[in-house]
């Protein structure tokens, strides 16, 4: 059977007009376009994935194995495109281990690569946002941000306070500690995106204003802060299943207004103030060994520093060095145990909120010199 006899009913013929100058006019050629074939193509790819057929790579996330196809991953996920087209060893490996990611989030991203569909929920939006940012899937990162922004827009906390810390664990967002003009708080509130509602959870064991916080290993950590009398070296963590705060091993340095972030399963606490001056010291806590250790110091003291982790480095943004507000940004490279200046933001500031979105670091609020509603992205 020749090619011209194979014309499906859903095929589309586009005849050239007699006025055209194309070469097709001479021999009576036409353009055949079978738009429905793309749906068949996508359906076939999804079926191959679901049935584990013709797979040429397997992603290992924790204990989960995800067989899939390099070509599909490369088309949708820029991280994998760069990997497979590079000289990296992983480009030729059949099994690629991806560490420090939620297995469900990676599975959802792979399913999206085949189906172009993704369901966002209160339980998966945070790990999905993290995975999408690191793997550079901007469509998913934007969708997660829009989902969270829409859900947060109508809600407010029950207690007015400043100097709080925010942490997201599995979906809910926790607002921790803080202070007003008279006292420091041990109060903790949790925001549920799905119900658009704030509710109180168990209070901390110690009041903490200017506290640092991060979610790590199924817990929310509250690190340092000030109890209204002095800066604190104590640390506690919240178990959402038990609705209980438990003290863990103390830091080596008392500090408040410190930045806290997670990298490679460890908690980093950066800078802050003791009772007298800003700090340049940085400590790292490994919950697996219950051990604190000092790592390389910042290039300059930073109290009220904003901190975020992106692409395997911890970034420290702004702060106050005891004399002036800062606009400089530095990054910590754990393999080299070294901080280095990487740029600056447009305004000097301290107490900035810092978040990661689509592999960019964004400051979303600040106090100090400059406008209180300025946002920077780097």
Each residue's pLDDT expressed in tens, for the chain with a length of 378 residues: 333 333 344 434 444 433 434 444 567 788 888 878 888 888 899 999 999 999 999 999 989 999 999 999 999 999 899 999 998 888 899 999 988 788 999 999 999 999 999 999 877 887 888 888 888 898 998 898 888 766 555 566 677 888 889 999 988 999 999 988 789 999 999 998 878 889 999 999 999 999 999 999 999 999 999 998 999 999 999 999 999 999 999 999 999 999 999 999 999 999 999 987 899 999 999 999 999 999 999 999 999 999 999 889 999 999 999 889 999 999 999 999 999 999 898 888 888 788 776 544 444 333 334 433 334 444
Q: What local confidence, expressed as pLDDT, does residue 153 receive?
A: 54
Domains, the chain = 3-32 (no CATH), 36-148 (3.30.710.10), 160-377 (2.120.10.80)
Residue that is written with structure tokens 């790592």 in the block: 295
CA-nearest of 62, 137, 141 to 103 is 62
Question: Tokens in use for 146?
Answer: 């829009």
Cα–Cα distances in angstroms (integers) from residue 117 to residues 57, 127, 218, 231, 363, in the given order: 22, 17, 28, 48, 30
Within 8 A by CB and 6+ apart from 196, the residues are 151, 154, 155
Chain centroid to CA 175: how far? Answer: 18
**Which pLDDT does position 106 carry in this prediction?**
95
Q: Going by C-beta distance under 8 Å and a sequence separation of 6 or more, which residues neighbour residue 311?
A: 134, 359
pLDDT of residue 151: 59
Q: In angstroms, rounded to a whole number, what is the distance separating the alpha carbons of residues 51 and 290? A: 43
Alpha-carbon gap, residue 298 to 304, rounded angstroms: 13
Which pLDDT belongs to residue 101?
83
Pairing of strands 259-263, 173-176: unpaired
Query: What pLDDT, on the 0 to 100 scale, is given for residue 18?
Result: 38
Nearest to 340 by CA among 282, 294, 285, 296: 296
What torsion do the CA atoms of 87, 88, 92, 96 make, to the nearest 10 degrees?
A: -160
C-alpha distances (whole Å) from 125 to each of 74, 89, 134, 154, 375 are 23, 31, 14, 18, 23
State the Cα–Cα distance between residues 134 and 122, nearest whole angstrom: 20
Instruction: Count the neighbouring beta carbons within 10 Å of the beta carbon of residue 75.
Output: 13
Q: What is the pLDDT of residue 1?
A: 38
- The candidate with the shortest Cα–Cα distance to 270, out of 292, 166, 278, 280, is 280
DSSP state of 232: B
Query: Do residues 211 and 203 make contact, with C-beta atoms less than 8 angstroms apart?
Result: no
Radius of gyration of the chain (CA): 26
CA–CA dist 67, 125 (Å, integer) = 23
Whole-number pLDDT of residue 155: 61
Cβ atoms of 203 and 188 within 8 Å: the answer is yes
Q: Which residue has the tokens 């189906």?
A: 115
């Amino acid at each position: 059977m020749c090619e011209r006899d194979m014309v499906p009913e859903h095929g589309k013929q586009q005849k050239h007009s007699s006025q055209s100058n194309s070469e097709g006019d001479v021999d009576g050629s036409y353009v055949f376009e079978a738009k429905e074939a793309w749906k068949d193509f996508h359906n076939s790819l999804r079926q191959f994935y679901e049935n584990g057929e013709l797979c040429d790579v397997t992603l290992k996330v924790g204990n989960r194995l995800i067989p899939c196809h390099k070509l599909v991953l490369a088309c949708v996920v820029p991280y994998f495109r760069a990997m497979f087209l590079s000289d990296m060893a992983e480009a030729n490996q059949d099994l690629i281990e991806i560490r420090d990611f939620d297995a469900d989030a990676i599975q959802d991203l792979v399913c999206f690569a085949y189906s172009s569909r993704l369901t966002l929920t209160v339980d998966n939006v945070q790990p999905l946002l993290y995975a999408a940012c690191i793997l550079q899937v901007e469509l998913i990162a934007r969708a997660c941000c829009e989902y969270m922004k829409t859900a947060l827009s109508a809600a407010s906390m029950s207690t007015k306070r400043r100097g709080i810390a925010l942490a997201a664990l599995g979906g809910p967002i926790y607002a921790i500690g803080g202070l007003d003009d008279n006292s420091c708080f041990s109060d903790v509130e949790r925001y549920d995106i799905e119900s658009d509602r704030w509710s109180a959870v168990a209070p901390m064991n110690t009041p903490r204003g200017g506290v640092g916080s991060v979610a790590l290993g199924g817990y929310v950590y509250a690190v340092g802060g000030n109890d209204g009398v002095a800066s604190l070296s104590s640390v506690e963590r919240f178990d959402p299943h038990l609705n209980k705060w438990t003290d863990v091993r103390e830091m080596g340095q008392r500090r408040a207004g410190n930045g806290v972030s997670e990298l490679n399963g460890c908690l980093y606490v950066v800078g802050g103030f003791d009772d007298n001056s800003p700090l340049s010291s940085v400590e790292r806590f490994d919950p697996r060994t219950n051990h604190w250790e000092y790592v390389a110091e910042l290039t300059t003291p930073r109290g009220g520093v904003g901190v975020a982790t992106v692409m395997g480095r911890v970034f420290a943004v702004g702060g106050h060095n005891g004399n002036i507000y800062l606009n400089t940004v530095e990054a910590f490279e754990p393999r080299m145990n070294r901080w280095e200046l990487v740029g600056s933001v447009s305004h000097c500031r301290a107490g900035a909120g810092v978040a990661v979105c689509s592999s960019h670091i964004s400051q979303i609020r600040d106090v100090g010199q400059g406008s209180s509603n300025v946002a920077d992205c780097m």
